Amino acid sequence: MKELAIMQITPLNISVKDVISQPPALSQELAKNDFVRITSSDFLDEIGSPDNSDIETFKASWNSLAEDEYMADGGRYRHRRHSVFSAGKSGGNVQREPHQPHYQTTKFNTLNGGVERYFQPIEKSISENKVFKGIMNFATKIFGAVSPLNDWHIEVHQFRILAQESGGKPTPEGVHQDGVDFVLMVFIDRQNIIEGETTVEDLDGNVLTRFTLKNSMEAVMVNDLRVAHGVTPILPQNPDEKGLRDMLVVTFKRKS
Protein backbone atom coordinates (compact mmCIF):
# COMPACT_ATOMS: atom_id res chain seq x y z
CA MET A 1 0.00 0.00 0.00
CA LYS A 2 2.84 2.43 0.72
CA GLU A 3 4.30 1.94 -2.76
CA LEU A 4 0.88 2.55 -4.29
CA ALA A 5 0.49 5.79 -2.29
CA ILE A 6 3.85 7.08 -3.51
CA MET A 7 2.93 6.38 -7.11
CA GLN A 8 -0.36 8.22 -6.70
CA ILE A 9 1.27 11.47 -5.53
CA THR A 10 4.01 11.47 -8.19
CA PRO A 11 2.99 13.64 -11.21
CA LEU A 12 2.55 11.24 -14.11
CA ASN A 13 3.82 13.67 -16.76
CA ILE A 14 7.10 14.68 -15.02
CA SER A 15 9.89 12.20 -14.44
CA VAL A 16 12.45 12.49 -11.66
CA LYS A 17 15.08 13.16 -14.34
CA ASP A 18 13.02 16.05 -15.68
CA VAL A 19 12.80 17.62 -12.23
CA ILE A 20 16.53 17.31 -11.60
CA SER A 21 17.47 18.77 -15.01
CA GLN A 22 14.97 21.65 -14.85
CA PRO A 23 16.93 24.86 -15.57
CA PRO A 24 17.21 27.35 -12.69
CA ALA A 25 14.36 29.86 -12.56
CA LEU A 26 16.72 32.74 -13.33
CA SER A 27 17.95 30.94 -16.45
CA GLN A 28 14.37 30.50 -17.60
CA GLU A 29 13.62 34.18 -16.95
CA LEU A 30 16.72 35.25 -18.87
CA ALA A 31 15.83 33.00 -21.80
CA LYS A 32 12.31 34.45 -21.86
CA ASN A 33 12.95 38.17 -21.28
CA ASP A 34 16.63 38.64 -22.31
CA PHE A 35 17.37 40.52 -19.09
CA VAL A 36 16.99 39.87 -15.36
CA ARG A 37 17.41 42.20 -12.40
CA ILE A 38 18.23 40.53 -9.09
CA THR A 39 17.87 42.14 -5.66
CA SER A 40 20.93 42.26 -3.44
CA SER A 41 19.45 39.84 -0.87
CA ASP A 42 18.53 37.31 -3.56
CA PHE A 43 21.90 37.67 -5.25
CA LEU A 44 23.80 37.12 -2.01
CA ASP A 45 21.74 33.97 -1.48
CA GLU A 46 22.55 32.82 -5.01
CA ILE A 47 26.30 33.23 -4.50
CA GLY A 48 26.38 31.29 -1.24
CA SER A 49 25.64 33.90 1.46
CA PRO A 50 29.28 34.97 1.99
CA ASP A 51 30.42 36.44 5.31
CA ASN A 52 30.42 40.22 5.74
CA SER A 53 34.21 40.16 6.10
CA ASP A 54 34.58 38.55 2.66
CA ILE A 55 32.14 41.06 1.17
CA GLU A 56 33.99 44.04 2.65
CA THR A 57 37.37 42.72 1.47
CA PHE A 58 35.93 42.22 -2.00
CA LYS A 59 34.44 45.72 -2.14
CA ALA A 60 37.62 47.34 -0.78
CA SER A 61 39.63 46.01 -3.73
CA TRP A 62 38.04 48.70 -5.92
CA ASN A 63 40.29 51.21 -4.12
CA SER A 64 43.34 49.75 -5.91
CA LEU A 65 42.18 50.14 -9.53
CA ALA A 66 44.47 51.96 -11.94
CA GLU A 67 43.37 54.71 -14.32
CA ASP A 68 42.17 53.56 -17.75
CA GLU A 69 44.67 55.14 -20.16
CA TYR A 70 42.88 54.07 -23.34
CA MET A 71 40.01 56.55 -23.28
CA ALA A 72 39.78 58.01 -26.80
CA ASP A 73 37.66 60.88 -25.49
CA GLY A 74 40.58 61.99 -23.29
CA GLY A 75 38.59 61.29 -20.14
CA ARG A 76 40.32 60.42 -16.88
CA TYR A 77 37.20 59.34 -15.06
CA ARG A 78 37.51 55.54 -15.42
CA HIS A 79 39.66 53.15 -13.37
CA ARG A 80 39.72 49.38 -13.90
CA ARG A 81 41.28 45.93 -13.63
CA HIS A 82 40.67 43.06 -16.03
CA SER A 83 41.32 39.31 -16.13
CA VAL A 84 40.32 36.37 -18.33
CA PHE A 85 38.85 33.06 -17.21
CA SER A 86 37.35 30.01 -18.91
CA ALA A 87 34.64 27.50 -18.04
CA GLY A 88 33.41 24.21 -19.40
CA LYS A 89 30.03 23.14 -20.70
CA SER A 90 27.04 23.78 -18.43
CA GLY A 91 29.20 26.05 -16.30
CA GLY A 92 31.81 23.64 -15.11
CA ASN A 93 35.45 24.03 -14.05
CA VAL A 94 36.20 27.77 -13.94
CA GLN A 95 39.88 28.40 -14.60
CA ARG A 96 41.95 31.58 -14.60
CA GLU A 97 43.74 32.07 -17.91
CA PRO A 98 47.13 33.76 -18.55
CA HIS A 99 46.87 37.54 -18.50
CA GLN A 100 45.92 38.97 -21.89
CA PRO A 101 44.54 42.16 -23.44
CA HIS A 102 40.92 43.15 -23.77
CA TYR A 103 39.81 43.64 -27.37
CA GLN A 104 36.57 44.80 -28.97
CA THR A 105 35.92 45.60 -32.60
CA THR A 106 34.81 49.09 -33.57
CA LYS A 107 31.42 47.58 -34.42
CA PHE A 108 30.76 47.08 -30.72
CA ASN A 109 32.88 49.90 -29.29
CA THR A 110 33.06 52.90 -31.58
CA LEU A 111 35.01 54.91 -28.99
CA ASN A 112 37.76 52.55 -27.80
CA GLY A 113 37.48 49.53 -30.09
CA GLY A 114 39.99 48.29 -32.64
CA VAL A 115 43.01 48.19 -30.30
CA GLU A 116 44.33 45.71 -27.77
CA ARG A 117 43.95 47.26 -24.33
CA TYR A 118 46.16 46.03 -21.50
CA PHE A 119 44.97 46.57 -17.93
CA GLN A 120 46.31 45.49 -14.58
CA PRO A 121 44.98 42.03 -13.66
CA ILE A 122 42.47 41.41 -10.91
CA GLU A 123 44.42 40.65 -7.77
CA LYS A 124 44.87 36.94 -7.08
CA SER A 125 43.60 37.35 -3.53
CA ILE A 126 40.37 38.81 -4.92
CA SER A 127 39.87 36.10 -7.54
CA GLU A 128 40.19 33.60 -4.67
CA ASN A 129 37.77 35.54 -2.46
CA LYS A 130 34.56 33.66 -1.60
CA VAL A 131 32.42 36.45 -3.06
CA PHE A 132 34.26 36.35 -6.39
CA LYS A 133 34.13 32.56 -6.54
CA GLY A 134 30.44 32.60 -5.69
CA ILE A 135 29.76 35.10 -8.48
CA MET A 136 31.66 33.04 -11.02
CA ASN A 137 29.91 29.81 -10.00
CA PHE A 138 26.54 31.55 -10.20
CA ALA A 139 27.24 33.01 -13.64
CA THR A 140 28.47 29.73 -15.10
CA LYS A 141 25.43 27.91 -13.70
CA ILE A 142 22.89 30.39 -15.08
CA PHE A 143 24.46 31.02 -18.48
CA GLY A 144 25.45 27.38 -18.81
CA ALA A 145 21.82 26.36 -18.34
CA VAL A 146 20.67 28.76 -21.07
CA SER A 147 23.35 27.51 -23.47
CA PRO A 148 24.60 24.14 -22.18
CA LEU A 149 26.61 22.88 -25.15
CA ASN A 150 29.40 25.44 -25.20
CA ASP A 151 32.69 26.08 -23.47
CA TRP A 152 33.15 29.68 -22.36
CA HIS A 153 35.62 32.53 -22.73
CA ILE A 154 35.01 34.78 -19.72
CA GLU A 155 36.29 38.30 -19.12
CA VAL A 156 35.94 40.03 -15.77
CA HIS A 157 36.22 43.80 -15.32
CA GLN A 158 36.36 45.86 -12.15
CA PHE A 159 35.23 49.41 -12.96
CA ARG A 160 35.29 52.61 -10.94
CA ILE A 161 33.75 55.68 -12.58
CA LEU A 162 34.53 59.04 -11.00
CA ALA A 163 31.78 61.64 -10.97
CA GLN A 164 32.51 64.87 -12.81
CA GLU A 165 30.57 68.09 -13.26
CA SER A 166 30.73 67.36 -16.99
CA GLY A 167 29.57 63.79 -16.30
CA GLY A 168 31.60 60.67 -15.55
CA LYS A 169 30.55 58.05 -18.08
CA PRO A 170 29.94 54.44 -17.00
CA THR A 171 29.30 53.58 -20.67
CA PRO A 172 31.15 56.19 -22.73
CA GLU A 173 30.20 54.37 -25.94
CA GLY A 174 26.51 54.95 -25.12
CA VAL A 175 23.81 52.27 -25.23
CA HIS A 176 25.67 49.32 -26.68
CA GLN A 177 26.26 45.60 -27.01
CA ASP A 178 29.56 44.13 -25.82
CA GLY A 179 29.99 41.65 -28.67
CA VAL A 180 29.57 38.62 -26.39
CA ASP A 181 26.74 36.22 -25.53
CA PHE A 182 25.84 37.11 -21.95
CA VAL A 183 26.74 39.83 -19.46
CA LEU A 184 26.45 39.85 -15.67
CA MET A 185 26.71 43.27 -14.01
CA VAL A 186 27.10 43.41 -10.22
CA PHE A 187 26.65 46.76 -8.47
CA ILE A 188 29.29 47.32 -5.80
CA ASP A 189 28.97 50.88 -4.48
CA ARG A 190 28.03 54.48 -5.20
CA GLN A 191 29.13 57.48 -3.19
CA ASN A 192 28.12 61.13 -3.50
CA ILE A 193 26.55 60.84 -6.96
CA ILE A 194 23.32 61.48 -8.77
CA GLU A 195 22.11 59.92 -12.03
CA GLY A 196 23.65 56.64 -13.26
CA GLU A 197 20.39 55.26 -14.65
CA THR A 198 20.62 51.91 -16.43
CA THR A 199 18.67 51.38 -19.65
CA VAL A 200 18.05 48.09 -21.46
CA GLU A 201 16.80 48.30 -25.06
CA ASP A 202 15.89 45.81 -27.74
CA LEU A 203 17.88 45.93 -30.98
CA ASP A 204 15.29 48.24 -32.55
CA GLY A 205 15.97 50.83 -29.87
CA ASN A 206 12.79 50.26 -27.88
CA VAL A 207 13.33 50.73 -24.14
CA LEU A 208 12.57 47.53 -22.22
CA THR A 209 13.38 48.83 -18.75
CA ARG A 210 15.04 51.68 -16.87
CA PHE A 211 16.28 51.63 -13.28
CA THR A 212 19.01 52.99 -11.01
CA LEU A 213 21.14 50.55 -9.06
CA LYS A 214 21.54 51.75 -5.48
CA ASN A 215 21.89 48.68 -3.24
CA SER A 216 25.28 47.01 -3.03
CA MET A 217 25.34 43.53 -4.60
CA GLU A 218 22.30 44.08 -6.82
CA ALA A 219 22.85 42.37 -10.15
CA VAL A 220 21.65 42.50 -13.73
CA MET A 221 22.01 39.83 -16.43
CA VAL A 222 21.47 40.47 -20.14
CA ASN A 223 21.51 38.42 -23.33
CA ASP A 224 23.99 40.51 -25.28
CA LEU A 225 22.92 38.96 -28.57
CA ARG A 226 19.39 40.30 -28.20
CA VAL A 227 19.53 43.50 -26.14
CA ALA A 228 21.73 46.56 -25.64
CA HIS A 229 22.44 48.36 -22.38
CA GLY A 230 23.81 51.68 -21.21
CA VAL A 231 24.15 53.92 -18.14
CA THR A 232 23.71 57.69 -17.96
CA PRO A 233 26.69 59.84 -16.84
CA ILE A 234 27.12 60.38 -13.11
CA LEU A 235 27.38 63.79 -11.47
CA PRO A 236 28.72 64.65 -8.00
CA GLN A 237 25.95 65.37 -5.53
CA ASN A 238 28.33 67.59 -3.58
CA PRO A 239 30.89 69.10 -6.00
CA ASP A 240 33.37 69.55 -3.16
CA GLU A 241 33.56 65.84 -2.40
CA LYS A 242 34.66 62.78 -4.38
CA GLY A 243 31.90 60.88 -6.14
CA LEU A 244 32.18 57.37 -7.58
CA ARG A 245 30.32 54.36 -8.93
CA ASP A 246 31.83 50.83 -8.68
CA MET A 247 30.76 47.84 -10.79
CA LEU A 248 31.87 44.31 -11.56
CA VAL A 249 31.15 43.25 -15.14
CA VAL A 250 31.47 39.62 -16.24
CA THR A 251 31.09 38.71 -19.92
CA PHE A 252 30.57 35.22 -21.37
CA LYS A 253 31.36 34.39 -24.98
CA ARG A 254 30.95 30.96 -26.56
CA LYS A 255 34.21 29.38 -27.64
CA SER A 256 34.16 28.38 -31.31
Stronger pLDDT, 7 or 48, i.e. the higher one? 48
Tell whether the model's pLDDT for residue 234 goes beyond 90: yes
Q: Write the pLDDT tens digit of every residue in 241-252.
A: 999 999 999 999
Considering only CA atoms, which of 232, 19, 233, 219 is closest in space to residue 131? Answer: 219
Most confident of 14-18, 24-28, 67-71, 91-95: 24-28
Average pLDDT, integer, range 204-225: 97
**Is residue 8 in a domain?**
no
> For 230, how many CA atoms within 13 A lie in the half-sphere containing its CB?
18
CB 163 within 8 A of CB 235: yes
Stronger pLDDT, 93 or 182, i.e. the higher one? 182
**Is residue 147 in a domain?**
yes
Distance CA 149, CA 201 (A): 27
**Is residue 239 in a domain?**
yes
Structural domain that includes position 249 = 23-254
Q: Write the pLDDT tens digit of every residue in 183-210.
A: 999 999 999 999 999 999 999 999 999 9
0.85 exceeded by pTM: yes
What CATH number is given to the structural domain containing 78?
A: 2.60.120.620
Length of the chain: 256
Count: domains in the chain: 1
**Is residue 207 in a domain?**
yes
Tell whether the model's pLDDT for residue 20 goes beyond 90: no
**Is residue 3 in a domain?**
no
Q: Is 223 helix (H, G, I), strand (E, B) or coil?
A: strand
Look up residue 208 and give its amino acid: L
**Is residue 126 in a domain?**
yes
**Is residue 250 in a domain?**
yes
Secondary structure (DSSP) of 69-82 = TT-TT----EEEEE
**Is residue 6 in a domain?**
no
